[in-house]
Amino acid sequence: MKPIRSFLFIPGNKASWIEKSVTSGADALILDLEDSVPPSEKATARSIVASKIAWLAEKRQRVYVRINRSPYLYDYEDLMAVTKPGLEGIGISKPNGCEDVDTASSMIAEAEMRNGLPIGGIKIMPLLETARALQFAYEIACRPRVPAIVGATARNADVARSLGYIWSADGRESLYFKSRVVMAARAAGKYPIGGLWQQVHDLEGLAESSRRDRALGMSGELVLHPTNVPIVNKTYTPSPEDVAYYQGMIDALEAAETAGRASVVYEGEHVDIAHVKTAREVIELARSLESALN
Amino acid sequence: MKPIRSFLFIPGNKASWIEKSVTSGADALILDLEDSVPPSEKATARSIVASKIAWLAEKRQRVYVRINRSPYLYDYEDLMAVTKPGLEGIGISKPNGCEDVDTASSMIAEAEMRNGLPIGGIKIMPLLETARALQFAYEIACRPRVPAIVGATARNADVARSLGYIWSADGRESLYFKSRVVMAARAAGKYPIGGLWQQVHDLEGLAESSRRDRALGMSGELVLHPTNVPIVNKTYTPSPEDVAYYQGMIDALEAAETAGRASVVYEGEHVDIAHVKTAREVIELARSLESALN
Amino acid sequence: MKPIRSFLFIPGNKASWIEKSVTSGADALILDLEDSVPPSEKATARSIVASKIAWLAEKRQRVYVRINRSPYLYDYEDLMAVTKPGLEGIGISKPNGCEDVDTASSMIAEAEMRNGLPIGGIKIMPLLETARALQFAYEIACRPRVPAIVGATARNADVARSLGYIWSADGRESLYFKSRVVMAARAAGKYPIGGLWQQVHDLEGLAESSRRDRALGMSGELVLHPTNVPIVNKTYTPSPEDVAYYQGMIDALEAAETAGRASVVYEGEHVDIAHVKTAREVIELARSLESALN
Amino acid sequence: MKPIRSFLFIPGNKASWIEKSVTSGADALILDLEDSVPPSEKATARSIVASKIAWLAEKRQRVYVRINRSPYLYDYEDLMAVTKPGLEGIGISKPNGCEDVDTASSMIAEAEMRNGLPIGGIKIMPLLETARALQFAYEIACRPRVPAIVGATARNADVARSLGYIWSADGRESLYFKSRVVMAARAAGKYPIGGLWQQVHDLEGLAESSRRDRALGMSGELVLHPTNVPIVNKTYTPSPEDVAYYQGMIDALEAAETAGRASVVYEGEHVDIAHVKTAREVIELARSLESALN
Amino acid sequence: MKPIRSFLFIPGNKASWIEKSVTSGADALILDLEDSVPPSEKATARSIVASKIAWLAEKRQRVYVRINRSPYLYDYEDLMAVTKPGLEGIGISKPNGCEDVDTASSMIAEAEMRNGLPIGGIKIMPLLETARALQFAYEIACRPRVPAIVGATARNADVARSLGYIWSADGRESLYFKSRVVMAARAAGKYPIGGLWQQVHDLEGLAESSRRDRALGMSGELVLHPTNVPIVNKTYTPSPEDVAYYQGMIDALEAAETAGRASVVYEGEHVDIAHVKTAREVIELARSLESALN
Amino acid sequence: MKPIRSFLFIPGNKASWIEKSVTSGADALILDLEDSVPPSEKATARSIVASKIAWLAEKRQRVYVRINRSPYLYDYEDLMAVTKPGLEGIGISKPNGCEDVDTASSMIAEAEMRNGLPIGGIKIMPLLETARALQFAYEIACRPRVPAIVGATARNADVARSLGYIWSADGRESLYFKSRVVMAARAAGKYPIGGLWQQVHDLEGLAESSRRDRALGMSGELVLHPTNVPIVNKTYTPSPEDVAYYQGMIDALEAAETAGRASVVYEGEHVDIAHVKTAREVIELARSLESALN
């Protein structure tokens, strides 16, 4: 799967917001049927979302839907309604562990069969919002339908309540579980997704928070507001300075190899083939993002 | 089990200290038969502790006893002597892993049977003081007799020696294992217990250390001196300002819901039903602690 | 196994560097056949390294060899060539998990058998450079041939690429996995090895980086340049001030015990038998390192 | 849970058969919505079954319902319809492993919540009809909702197809998996259920088949026809001769103990307290079945 | 993978036997480099086998090679020599558990890479000839390269020595492990392979032995002599009588369904859709084997 | 550990029986403190047994003691009394799983320490008499103190009650768990021990029962009466006919190898190096038992 830098949440009951979101620049949308929809509009939201998927796919907009759950089960009717051509995946909130992901996977297979889709095509993006899901992050990340796991933090939100921590700007209290999500995802060959900045109008705070997640190894993050998308996209895109730095590294090692050496000191640091592999990956990522824009 | 903010250690050979401790305000006492008792007073301590349990229970003071262990086994005679009506649990130090907790559990069942107590009633509070116990923190936390696990740090003490780290005030070296204990406990539905402040006369240092543990998600901590109890209790009790803040949040979302919205920006942050669940838990905790005092 | 404070890498194709390295003071050498050797000199390096092992062993220099690997297998010819009397162990880079360590172990057993060495004598030191190896750090550390596991970090190198993080001087991005390696190794009764400082000419930076790894609980680290050896050795050797501090602690508790107490406040901190066990270990380590020098 | 000697299957679309079944003497009924109901009558069967549960419960008839499944999921509508007061449990066919049992358990919890039943009260009886379910028989038996697991065999039916065996009267081909189901169930403290005799008019064959299952350790079995119920009940009820034999054993050991011995030769065999525990269990079972009849 | 009824072993040093074997009717050949080749001819056998693979593939003969192993490792040179286009898989003898299968898989990947074959294409057929391999039969069967596992028995051969049993014609001593191999293979979606009849000239004994393995659920077996091939093939091919019986069953249930029933008594037994699924599988197998012949 | 063909039980309260037992020919004695001792003589038995161990060891009689257990714990006082020089191991009855074996191991280490024995020297022989212990037979067999596991069956005894089976002479009901114990023990490199014949005066029945266990792969068995010892010893000792047969096989293959072949038909069966390894093991066993007698 191609990486996703920005997942933009949109309340499922807001048809016009969904339509406008295709211009947001978000790599993927998450049409939300859950906490951002008032109870009285759940049914409306479900049918709005179901009706918009094909249109969004036509616009080449990648789309996920976050479904509701009771204390015991993900919402069967939600799943039946939105498992349609054009949907990339389902976002599931607050799984209690691998069992919930497996159950969701079986329910989605049922929906795929009933709705005539190929079995196994719809992805699951689990939001690891309970302590137990975080404890089993690696096992969850290994599930075949799961291309990415989310380790997000926000003051007073679900993860904070489940772990009992107190949110801070420097994130000392979330360093462990965010790092754990990064390692679990990477170990399983999947993407680690960070966030979640809920002071949506503080864009400098967002940029700083986003840089911190990127530095830990996240490959993208959840976003609550369209204005936040470009800032997040920028964080997860190699800058021209990055590209120049890494190209220089490649050139330096090539020169060294011509001279019969396997390593070189480049900008003050020992560099060998291991570093050049990293350099090539960064440049390749920069190129693929650029071509996606054109 | 009701949460315990402060576990106060008292050397088991000090009968008068035990008696005075009921006025300390500690949520629970740990009568110690182990490292705070000199070898020559082990037998005395055992009989003092055994004789005080009923009296403490009568005073409605929750009581744990920390027993001795050889390199191979927890102390059988200690267990037989103190497993009596009124005891809430046994503190076990330096388990090497789940096997030691299981063995302790079997020994306690034997003591319960021999002493006429219901089987399974006495709890085990493991002090995760070896690297291997910390590695298996989650598995230990899942054991049925275990209501809480302890992830404490102190300069030069058992955990420091087992992991080989050097203690610092900012706790960089213990962030991983304390966070691990928080997640393991919460994932198993148990309480994570922090501490341990051994500069017992530096109360400001204690307050700071305690705030840091609380911020990570600890629900209480070990305490070495009666003067330390009120400071720790305060850390783990929601303040009136907290209660007001969260009540405001609840009110704000209710207003938003009346207006047909599922979220609102409250004091600069996106807030929805997820946050309000947290708010309700904090207010509920504040009320239950208040009523416990009256 | 005796602890190793400094593992000095030497490119295997540099015969004279290998010879000079015995005066470096490194506790162990790692003769490298992998990334520090240019492709065109791989065969030469293999025979140089094979020819130097006995000579180094005669000089009582502990020796490891890092072998090559393809995407699928460690290099069979490397192993057959260097598994010789005098070799202490094989360094294996980028294992993908336990399976790779088990496979390496079987291949080494084959080499031991073919080359007439006792089966099981050659050690394996895995460099945990992939996310999956770090995820399974404990399981890897439990393997019988493994006396130590390496959790090293360096800007743009293999671990950074596998986890996707961005290296920083303060190491926020590597705190999780370094702490994880420390706990995993200690839980398995093995040594955790840190590093890797690649700004080889910045000796102050090295000293700071080394102190940080030591504080986390590392017992030694990888070193890229002979000038870095003494600095690293110093970090992992108790200083005379340390020895004096701990001797004072032992004396203070002994005095307390004579007075019938099991604890004492020493330099402002509660201290009991747990701390004195640590004190004795530090003093014992200092003595063993001293005697090794004489 | 009290043991069930006979589980009688009744097609869910046969209202009159259901009514008559209360006189069959079966310890429990399994109202079937699955393979014994023609596709065209599935909806009818569901509503007949849903309507009969309360009436059967009033007659003190224990009731299970076997629901349908697609290749991916148990039937959600079946579950919602039949999870009603009076239902003891759900029979699930052809689970592919623990995941299917966990998913069924979550779906039943949802049905309990929606239908106002206490959560966790409805049991699950899995029919281990796939090779993978049999491979994981113990893990399935450990699930909390599961009071019994079924290891049944029949010529050409689901288990035979999944394992690929050829049914025979002496059951050489099913000895392994039936014994495995017995051990798995007993190890988990649950009941092993055998059967399934599909030559329903050959009552002698049934008696022999039933005796063989009982001898392996089964505690009851599935039954396809009301005429088969008394034969099966008899097999799983201790006979008067059994009771006399075991009472004699108890008396013999008591006499020996009076004479200061701990064992005795009773009817040619060494007998001690271990055997007398068995004797007491058999007599207790005989009494409880008798009192259930009166 | 298509099922294989007969795997015919041929000593790798017998070039002419290999050539003749294409007329044997064996579904697959196993060219043996191991126990059927005298030590002095190991090198010759390796090159003969390597030279025949392409020719056999041209004749559309499926080919496996059984390689040698030391106590520690499968033979690297054997693997490099025979991993060539036309080879279907490698037979590995006496694995000690999953680790050996994983190691073999890595070595084969190396051979595939060096010899220009697609990675992962060559299969592994493990002969479960040690007690530990049988203990982990399911885990071995789950490995991706493994399409089939072998649970064979023979008087005094490797399995008998490892488990310590005494071979008998009725196979009481091998019933457990053969049944275990059947369940493990089927649970993993793989083929269970039986045998091994070493009284090669007693063809009646072979027919009986073969029927017993087939009845347990084996899908094919190992064969030591070309004369044994047709007998084994016949055992694992549905007979015309089988086909007629199952076609009658299908017809009977169709008639019942037309009459509004979901089950019928066919030749004295209760039969429903479950049995008809089996009937269809048997008829489909018969057809596919027939068309393979034409 | 050398194999033990016969373990003879002797009630611990019978001092004279213990003394006479050294002439029984039993490879090892099990002095019983448990079910063969009347409650009123438990204390006496403990001191008799404790007092006889050294004397038996002097006579070079291998000795085990079976200790008592409550529902929760093995008997601490028993262990402290009998863990003395000369004791080979402790027999533990009715473990509920690995936890009980681990607990017994810790208790024995404590007893070793208190009684001045080297830690880890005393063995544990678990009697797998509960369904759960049989379910985890392999995991139990892997424990380091365990040299052998017991899978015994007897009419109405502990295993029969736990699994719920009905004993028969042909042992259909115990074939699964006896085979399971053989595989588990052999897979862990330990000895499988069978038995238990409680019709102690029916020596022909014993011989038949013993042959059946031997054929399954057991290496010895439990014995209740001294007259049963020679019969059991004979079963587990290769006969002169066996030795002659296997020597003939070795000779035949050697002749074949001289003639350039790797296999031969010996007494009607294909035989190769695999069979000759078995032949050598049998002859070696015969020799070691013979030399033990002289």
Q: Report, as an integer, the average pLDDT of C46-60.
A: 97
Please report the ipTM that was assigned to this predicted complex: 0.95
Which of these, F79, F232, F189, F206, lies nearest to F154 by C-alpha position? F206
The subunits that touch chain A, with at least 3 C-beta pairs less than 8 Å apart, are B, C, D
Count of CB pairs separated by less than 8 Å, A with B: 101
> Which pLDDT belongs to residue E1?
82
Q: Is A107 on the interface with D (CB under 8 A)?
A: yes
Residue D269 vs residue D130, higher pLDDT: D130
Asked whether the predicted pLDDT for residue D126 surpasses 80, the reply is yes
Q: Is the pLDDT of residue D81 over 90?
A: yes
| Chain mean pLDDT for chain F | 96
Q: What is the DSSP letter of D261?
A: -
How confident is the model over C148-155, as a mean pLDDT? 95
Structure confidence by residue, pLDDT tens digits, D186-220: 999 999 999 999 999 999 999 999 999 999 999 99
Query: How far apart (Å, rounded) are the C-alpha atoms in residues A146 and A140?
Result: 8
Asked if residues B90 and B64 have their Cβ atoms less than 8 Å apart, the reply is yes
F143-160, pLDDT tens digit by residue? 999 999 999 998 999 999
What are E54-74's pLDDT values in tens digits? Answer: 999 999 999 999 999 999 999
**pLDDT of residue B130 exceeding 60:** yes
Nearest to C38 among A180, A257, A265 (CB): A257
Which DSSP category does E65 fall into? E
Question: Are chains A and C in touch, 3+ Cβ pairs below 8 Å?
Answer: yes
For F96-161, the DSSP string reads -SHHHHHHHHHHHHHHHHHTTPPTT-SEEEEE--SHHHHHTHHHHHTSTT-SEEE----TTSHHHH
Residue E294 in this model has a pLDDT that exceeds 60: no
Confidence of residue A293 (pLDDT cuts 50, 70, 90): low
**E127 DSSP 8-state letter:** B
User: Is E73 in CB contact (< 8 Å) with chain D?
Assistant: no
All residues of chain B having their beta carbon less than 8 Å from the beta carbon of residue A39 are 262
For residues D18 and D12, give the distance between their C-alpha atoms in angstroms, rounded to a whole number: 8
Residues F260, F252: contact at Cβ < 8 Å? Answer: no
Kindly report, residue by residue over C164-213, the tens digit of the pLDDT. 999 999 999 999 999 999 999 999 999 999 999 999 999 999 999 999 99
Residues C282, C290: contact at Cβ < 8 Å?
no
The share of chain F scoring above pLDDT 90, in percent, equals 96
CA distance C270 to C191: 29
* pLDDT at C294 > cutoff 60: no
Contact in structure between E236 and E214 (CB atoms under 8 Å): yes
Write the DSSP symbol of residue D207.
Answer: H
pTM score of the predicted model: 0.96
pLDDT score for B167: 96
Helices (H), B115-239: 131-135, 137-141, 158-163, 175-187, 203-216, 229-235
Q: Enumerate neighbours of C (3 or more CB pairs within 8 A).
A: A, B, E
Q: Determine whether the interchain pair A156/B262 forms a contact, defined as Cβ–Cβ distance below 8 Å.
A: no
Would you say B282 and B243 are in contact if contact means Cβ atoms under 8 Å apart? yes
Distance from C-alpha of E174 to C-alpha of C237, rounded to nearest angstrom: 61
Given a cut of 60, is residue F41 above it in pLDDT?
yes
Is D166's CB within 8 Å of E214's CB?
Answer: yes
Q: What is the pLDDT of residues B244-265, one digit of tens each?
A: 999 999 999 999 999 989 999 9
Mutual orientation of helices C203-216 and C175-187 as an angle, nearest 10°? Answer: 50
pLDDT digits (tens, 9 = 90+) for F11-32: 999 999 999 999 999 999 999 9
User: C138 in contact with A at a CB cutoff of 8 Å?
Assistant: no
Question: Of all residues in chain E, what percent carry a pLDDT higher than 90?
Answer: 96
User: In this complex, is the C-beta atom of B156 within 8 Å of any C-beta atom belonging to chain C?
Assistant: yes
Tokens of D278: 């068995």
C151 touching B (Cβ < 8 Å):
no
Q: pLDDT by residue (tens digit) across E154-197? A: 899 999 999 999 999 999 999 999 999 999 999 999 999 999 99
What contacts F123, CB < 8 A, 6 or more positions away?
F1, F64, F88, F89, F90, F145, F146, F147
Q: Do C183 and B41 touch (CB under 8 A)?
A: no
Contact F52, F85 (CB under 8 A): no
Chosen for mutation from E94, E156, E203 (greatest number of chain F CBs closer than 10 Å) is E156
Q: Give residue D1's pLDDT.
A: 82
E175·D175 Cβ contact <8 A:
yes
The pLDDT of residue A290 is: 84
Cβ contact (<8 Å) for D168 and E215? yes
F294 confidence band (pLDDT: 50, 70, 90): low
Encode pLDDT of F235-250 as tens digits: 999 999 999 999 999 9
Task: Go through chain D and tell me how many residues it has.
Answer: 294
Check CB contact of E113 with chain C, cutoff 8 Å.
yes
Peptide bond into E203 cis (omega under 30): no
CA atoms of B130 and B152, how far apart (whole Å)? 11
Tell me the chain A residues in contact with residue C11 when contact means C-beta distances shorter than 8 Å.
Answer: 262-263
Of C158, C175, C200, the CB nearest to A175: C175
| Mean pLDDT of all residues in D225-245 | 96
Residue F139 has pLDDT above 70, yes or no: yes
Tell me which residue of B293, B24, D17, D159 sits closest to E179, measured CA to CA. D159
Q: Nearest-CA neighbor of F36 among F233, F225, F228, F229?
A: F225
User: How far apart are the C-alpha atoms of F29 and F61, rounded to whole Å?
Assistant: 8
The DSSP-derived string for B18-35 is HHHGGGS--SEEEEESST
pLDDT at B293: 58
Q: Is F60 left (phi over 0), alpha (psi -120 to 50) or beta?
A: left
Q: Which chains touch F (3 or more CB pairs under 8 A)?
A: B, D, E
CA angle C183, C187, C190 (to 5 degrees): 95
How large is the average pLDDT for residues A14-24? 97
Phi, psi angles (nearest 5°) of residue C31: -80, 120
Looking at CA atoms only, how far is residue A225 from chain B in angstroms? 10
Percent of chain E predicted with pLDDT > 70: 99
Q: How far apart (Å, rounded) are the C-alpha atoms in residues F265 and B119?
A: 65
Extract the tokens encoding C78.
């490397």
**pLDDT average, residue stretch F252-269:** 92
pLDDT value at position D294?
53
Cα-Cα end-to-end distance for chain A: 19
Alpha-carbon distances, residue D245 vs A105, D250, F165 (angstroms)? 55, 9, 17
| H helix or E strand, kind and range, residue C42 | helix C42-58
Cβ-defined contact of E271 to D160 (cutoff 8 Å) = no
pLDDT digits (tens, 9 = 90+) for D143-192: 999 999 999 998 999 999 999 999 999 999 999 999 999 999 999 999 99
